Chain A
Amino acid sequence: MRFFNMMVGVVCALAIGASAAQAPAADPVKVGAVLSLTGSASSLGDPELKTLEMMVDQTNRAGGLLGRLVELVHYDDGSEPGKANVLAKRLIEDDKVDMLIGGTTTGASMAMYPLIERAQIPFISLAGALVIVEPVKRWMFKPAHHDRMVGQRVMLDMKARGYTSIAMLSDTSGFGQSARKEMLNVAQKVGITVAVDETFNPKDTDVTTQLAKIKNTPGVQALFVVTFGQGAVVVTKNIAQLGIELPHYETSGVATREYIRLAGPAAEGVRLPAPVLMVAADLPDSDPQKKLSVDYVREYESRYQTDVSSFGAYARDAWHIWVNAVTQARSVDKAKVRDFIENTTGLPGTSGMINMSPQDHLGLDISALKIVTVRNGKFAIAD
């Protein structure tokens, strides 16, 4: 074990060598993060880490927090929830962090939570599913919209446009299946009939079979595709190939420029609910979300020379929720910080105005999602 200690010490020394040399007398405030940097969720975890590193630099440049520098200790769970559990224990017990961010995926966040609760440490999850905040878990918060809100936003838009009979095409991943369940519930509540309910494997390179069935079902007025990433691109291209004219909805999971780039002209006219981040420049100047979103996009893109995504933006919001709570608590005491996170009110973030309460550890309402459409190869606020 001594060898192990030494190895860990050497690794840490290598990683933080330069910054440690100029640290002030007080110990740094430690933030732990477990993210999926490799494996199936790496496209989500990568912008999250980049954002957190950028946030740490910003905070330290501005004089740190409570007069102390901030240090980020992060590990990669390889998109395996079981690993996230071990790494969370490492952050809590060995690195002795003051708070935890992470769980890129719902599985990882839920795998970490039993440890979080035992250690009583504030935890902000970056994952999507409703289960993270319902029922409310005392030590866990989240800045990202959950799948039910996405469903509600889409269904309300459909309803407003007079569609009452729709087709749904969900992928078979964890995300797709848990979202599909929520979407079906929401549809029933708002009075929309799901006339066709098809699924596909997100690794499929062709889904024309399912789409042909949807095309040939009479009475269907719109198509809702519940997936993210590569799967959405394949579906979008297939829809164009089959000449399906139905209004095409996607989830917020495809709100990336990558999607438009890969799907090309086929993406034109697609409607989806997205965090305002994607259309920040189009917002009126009076909107409190505008400046911070535009600033985040500009700084991220100039620093990393790559597009922003909503996943990185969730990490940004998580960071600000925590900084805000620590500043108000004037301490990093875990219980105090937790209380102040729970009392976050009127904090503007890229995802919306955040108003948390003991009953609501998300603090966002459905207005935080804007229906956007792809127009001339860009996201634009829909009419």
Chain B
Amino acid sequence: MTHHPDQSLPRSRQSISGPILGPGSRRVVGLAALAAVVALLPLLLPNAFYFDVAIRIAILAVNGIALNLLMGYTGQISLGHAGFFGLGAYGSAVLTTHFGWAPLPALLAAAGLTAVIAWGVARVILRLRGHYLAMATLGLGIIISIVLGNEAAWTGGPDGMPVDGFSLFGLTLSGERQWYWVFGGLLIATVILAQNLIDSPAGRALQALHGSETAASVAGIDVGRRKIAVFVLSATVSAMLGSLSAHYSGYINPGIAGFLQSVELVIIVVLGGMASIYGSIFGAVVMGLLPQILAGYEGWDSVLFGVILVVTMIFLPRGVVPSLATRLRSAGVTGKGGAAC
């Protein structure tokens, strides 16, 4: 949550809590603001399409936060994260459609399966660093989407498959307005969980190994185990989100697990700001809204989209939220402590 400008040192956060608000109260302010936005937004949304856009932003945001735990805080690149989202989505779809499972057990089973796969894979590939890790995760994501595309008997192949609605205890979620509260609640829960994790000893260990793996292991941190744990956590959150979004949209195809989706998640993390939870939410808002705003500029939408991303990264290289927070701080708006980002 708090971004320390000096990336190179493993840090201990107790010593740098801001002079105006302690880390605890800053968190409460941020959460209250987020909860207020989630609660009041429906009053401004004129129709179901806007609810849909809001829901998709929430999905991107939760996925972005999950990836940020891995990339931003722990410093492990993943270019295949949409693969886990796809595993969750297809796990739920296949179990409910072909085996007649109820949605909730299917969701848990798919998440459990994804966790096992992520654990097995992490043990091997998290030995890699930098470009090599990027390549390995890239390959993993592509393999998952190829498998989903080719196992046509189970997944419907490249044309995808329909998914039933989500029902629990005889009640079925229907319509964007009901789903909005599910994903809105999920977003808030994810933010709380992520913040608690980051501010816990385990979270500080993760940030320490982002700074320097060698230094972290000298300080007594089991680097390998920590990396695997955060990888599995991140993958599992994405898988559960994938299950829910499959039930929500009623239809899935292998594209949801594809390389482009993984890149979109990385853009969310980098654009919003590495190691910034509210940055990921901001990134999700941009990535969710921009394509809709630009949809009318046929043929130019991709160009405008690219220009906006390039300009943002040139002028706000550490991501929008951390860069702006630093500028605000240096302009003397807040004290020298960490901003609420």
- Chain A residues within 8 Å of B, Cβ to Cβ: 1-2, 4-5, 7-8, 11-12, 14-15, 37-38, 75-76, 80-83, 85-87, 89-90, 92-94, 106-107, 110-111, 113-115, 129, 131, 173-174, 177-178, 181
B162–A110 touching, CB < 8 Å: yes
Per-residue contact bits, chain B 149-192, to A (CB 8 Å; 1 contact, 0 not): 11010000111101000000000000000000000000000000
The reply to whether B251 and A110 form a contact with Cβ atoms under 8 Å apart is yes
Given contacts A8-B293, A114-B251, contact A76 B298 (CB under 8 A): yes
Report yes or no: A1 in contact with B50, Cβ–Cβ below 8 A: yes
Confirm or deny: B324 has a beta carbon within 8 angstroms of a beta carbon on chain A. no
Judge whether B255 and A82 touch: CB under 8 Å: yes
- Residue with the greatest number of chain B CB neighbours at <10 A, chosen from A4, A8, A89: A89
Asked, given contacts A14-B296, A38-B302, whether A174 binds B49 with beta carbons under 8 Å apart, the answer is no
Comparing B14-22, B40-48, B97-105, B122-130, the segment that makes contact with chain A is: B40-48
Asked if B249 is at the interface (CB within 8 A of a chain A CB), the reply is yes
Give the interface SS of chain B, mostly helix, strand, loop or mixed.
Answer: helix
CB pair B253 A11 closer than 8 Å: no
Whether the pair B296, A4 counts as a contact (CB closer than 8 A) is: no
**B199 adjacent to chain A (CB < 8 Å):** no
Q: Is the CB of B293 within 8 A of A90?
A: no
Closest to A119 in B: B48
A294 to chain B, nearest CB (A): 30
B255 touches A174 (CB 8 A): no
Chain B's closest residue to A80 (CB) is B255
Contact A4-B289, Cβ < 8 Å, known A11-B296, A11-B297, A81-B255: yes
Residue of B nearest to A49 (CB): B298
Known: A38-B302, A110-B160, A177-B150. 14 other contacts (CB 8 A): A1-B44, A11-B296, A76-B301, A82-B249, A85-B249, A85-B251, A89-B48, A93-B48, A94-B47, A106-B159, A110-B251, A114-B251, A177-B158, A178-B152
Name the contact of A8 in the complex, choosing from B47, B150, B158, B296 (C-beta under 8 A). B296
Query: Which of B149, B157, B158, B162 has its CB near the most chain A CB atoms (within 10 A)?
Result: B158
The answer to whether A131 touches B159, judged by C-beta atoms less than 8 angstroms apart, is yes
Partner of B49, one of A2, A12, A94, A173: A94
- Give the interface SS of chain A, mostly helix, strand, loop or mixed: helix
Which B residue's beta carbon lies closest to that of A87? B295
* Docked complex Cα distance between A181 and B159 (Å): 13
CA distance A8 to B290 in the complex (A): 11
Distance in angstroms from A138 CB to nearest chain B CB is 14
* B341 lies within 8 A of chain A by Cβ: no
Contact yes or no, A173 B50, CB < 8 A: no
Assuming the contacts A76-B298, A85-B251, A86-B56, asked whether A1 and B159 have C-beta atoms less than 8 A apart, the reply is no
Query: How many A-B pairs fall under 8 Å by CB?
Result: 102
Contact in complex: A94, B158 (CB < 8 Å): no
B-chain residues with CB within 8 Å of residue A174 when the two chains form the complex: 149, 157-159
Query: Which residue numbers of B lie inside 8 Å of A, CB to CB?
Result: 41, 44-50, 52-53, 56, 149-150, 152, 157-160, 162, 249-251, 253, 255-256, 260, 289, 291-293, 295-299, 301-302
Per the bound structure, the CA–CA distance linking A83 and B44 in Å amounts to 24
Known: A85-B249, A107-B159. A37 touches B298 (CB 8 A): yes
- Asked whether B160 lies within 8 Å of A81 as measured between CB atoms, the reply is yes
Using CB atoms, name the residue of chain A closest to B44: A1
Contact residues in A for B291 (Cβ distance below 8 Å): 83
Q: Which residues of B contact A76 (CB under 8 A)?
A: 295, 298, 301
Q: Are A177 and B251 in contact (CB under 8 A)?
A: no
CB <8 Å contact, A90 and B49: yes
Assess the B157–A177 pair: CB atoms within 8 A: yes
Evaluate whether A107 and B160 lie within 8 angstroms (CB atoms) in the complex, with A81-B255, A89-B48, A113-B251 already known: yes
A94 and B158 alpha carbons, distance in the complex (Å): 29
Do B47 and A107 touch (CB < 8 A)?
A: no
Complex contacts, A90 vs chain B, CB 8 Å = 49, 292, 295
User: Known: A89-B49, A94-B49. Contact between A7 and B293, CB under 8 A?
Assistant: yes
Minimal Cβ-Cβ distance residue in B for A175: B158
Alpha-carbon separation in the docked complex, A107 to B156 (Å) = 10
Among all A-B residue pairs, the 9 with the closest Cβ atoms: A174-B158, A11-B296, A93-B49, A114-B250, A94-B49, A93-B48, A93-B47, A81-B253, A1-B44
